[in-house]
Amino acid sequence: MEVSAVADYRCSFCGKNQDQVRKLIAGQNRVFICDQCIDLCKSIVDEEFIGAARPEPTPRRNSWLDRLRRMAIALPR
């Protein structure tokens, strides 16, 4: 009986083997995910966040300083 030297890696999510997908990414403990499952997961996440309020980016330090300066100028003396 001949033993194959090539390992049969499969996506841990859909079960497709490495020959059925373009890319198979390895994680820890022999867990793999294929490009197709990544695309599916990304579309689910994108769909979930459509229309959701996105947090404003944190202003850079200079922006805070500029804001404080404007407030100080606007305050009555």
Structure pTM? 0.57
Q: Domain ranges in the chain?
A: 8-53
| pLDDT 10s digits, 25-74 | 999 999 999 999 999 999 988 887 776 666 666 666 667 677 777 776 65
Tell me, what's the pLDDT at 76? 57
What is the reported pLDDT for 12?
A: 95
Residue 14 or residue 51, greater confidence: 14
CA dihedral 74, 68, 64, 61 (to 10 degrees): 140
What span, in angstroms and rounded, lies between the C-alpha atoms of 13 and 59?
A: 39
